[in-house]
Amino acid sequence: MAGRGDPPEGTPEGLPGGGEDEYGSVVFDESFVRAARVQEFSAMERMGEHAPAVRSLPEWNAKRAPAQILVLVLLVVIAFGTAIYLGVRHPYQPAPGRQAEQLRVTVVPLSPRGPVPGGTPAELYAQSPAEQFRTGAAGITMPPVRRTEHFSEGQVMTALATVKDYLVKSSLDPDVVLGDAVQPLRTLLHPDQMPQFDRSVTSPAADGRHATTGWLVRFEPAQVALADPEVRVRGTLEVLETGAGTLEITSDHTFVYALRSAATGPPASDEASLFIVRRELHFRFDRDDLAHHRLEVRSSYLQAGPQSCSADASAALRPLLAGQRPDPAGPAGTDPYATGRASAAVCGSLAPEAQPSP
């Protein structure tokens, strides 16, 4: 008698497992199903009126398959290429960084009231306020380093070190002060200021923007030489945070140089004289400047003497040496009717107490 799971006729003889095992070797994989020419409707579809039990499927053309795949790949490549092109043609542009401003320059010659005192460098320093000054880079002292609201102690230290580096190279380096070297200084500047710096060096002008002496201390090597390589220095550095992304440093230093004439024959004097330069500079940093060890020089205010008021100090300072007197002529005249940028020559009087006193 047949069981509940067996066919009515029972299990056929000679076939273990019955009728189901007869088709056990037949596998209906996905490719076989896709290749079927007919497909049975679902139960819901068969409920419709006069609905056939099966429907025909479009014939799968094996010969056309490679062409269809090729078209699909081609479409993907075109879409991918278009995305790359648009990304290169219209890349994401980050917010532009802060642009550095042009340097504002003021150079004030200081004219003595009489002849310039002379002597040996040691004698002159001992008879002047510069006796208490330190020598060289040691005179550019660091203030206490403290973090600000938005800048760490390390970032403040980096800014101060960059300013000191600039002051040393622009005021104490003999190749800069008595030569044509500018590259050591130029590498410290913000790239936006380099064109202005280059023009100031190659074509200096007393226009408040392009004086070489606004950027650095410069003497004419054909006229003067250092009588003592140890320049006396004293001054201060102040740090101020002016915004979440901006740090400003103000330097105010007095540099005293012992100079002598560069001429070798008479009537050159062997005596030295002191030349005083006071530089007040304003520097600005953002985080990008700190990362690249560079700075922006916002303004430069320089007083230097003894010089004649009539001397043009835009390209180089014009010291009066031992025994020399200032030119009685005053600064170059200013024409208020002239068009263009307004400018006027400025000159000050060198106080007697600033000179060495015998």
Q: 114-124 pLDDT, tens per residue?
A: 999 999 999 99
Residues 48, 116 share a domain: no
Residues 117 and 211 in one domain: yes
Q: Which burial class, exposed, middle or buried, applies to 101 when counting CB atoms under 10 A from its CB (0-12, 13-18, 19+)?
A: middle
Q: What is the dihedral of CA 117, 122, 126, 128, to 10 degrees?
A: 40
Other CB atoms closer than 10 Å to residue 203's CB: what's the count? 10
Residues 171 and 257 in one domain: yes
Residues 186 and 224 in one domain: yes
Per-residue model confidence as pLDDT tens digits over 215-271 = 999 999 999 999 999 999 999 999 999 988 999 999 999 999 999 999 765 555 679
Judge if 61 and 153 occupy the same domain.
no
Residue 16 lies in a domain: no
Per-residue pLDDT of 87-105, as tens digits, reads 555 444 444 556 888 999 9
8 Å CB contact between 90 and 83 = no
pLDDT at 80: 76
Same domain flag for 66 and 114? no
Measured CA distances, 18 to 3, 15, 25, 150 (Å): 12, 6, 14, 85
Residues 262 and 303 placed together within one structural domain of the fold: yes
Q: Confirm whether 166 is domain-assigned.
A: yes
Q: What is the pTM of this model?
A: 0.72
* Within a domain: 11: no
- Which pLDDT belongs to residue 334? 74
Question: Looking at the structure, do residues 121 and 261 belong to the same domain, yes or no?
Answer: yes
Query: What 3-state DSSP class applies to 198?
Result: helix
Q: Is 312 helix (H, G, I), strand (E, B) or coil?
A: coil
Strands 54-56 and 348-349: unpaired
Is residue 63 domain-resident? yes
Same domain, 80 and 109: no
Pair 140, 274 in one domain: yes
The domain boundary residue, chosen from 41, 66, 89 = 89
In tens, the pLDDT along 157-173 reads 999 999 999 999 999 99
d(CA 347, CA 210): 18
Domain membership flag for residue 339: no
Minimum mean pLDDT range among 279-283, 290-294, 315-319, 328-332: 328-332
List 281's β-bridge partners, or say none. Answer: 251, 300
Is 8 part of a structural domain of the chain?
no
Report the number of distinct structural domains present in the chain. Answer: 2
Same-domain status, 74 and 166: no
Residue 233 lies in a domain: yes
Q: Are residues 325 and 190 in the same domain?
A: yes
**Closest by alpha carbon to 136, among 172, 170, 160, 163?**
172
Paired tokens of 120? 């040996």
Mean pLDDT value across the chain? 83
Boundaries of domain holding 81: 28-89
Percent residues over pLDDT 70 in the chain: 73
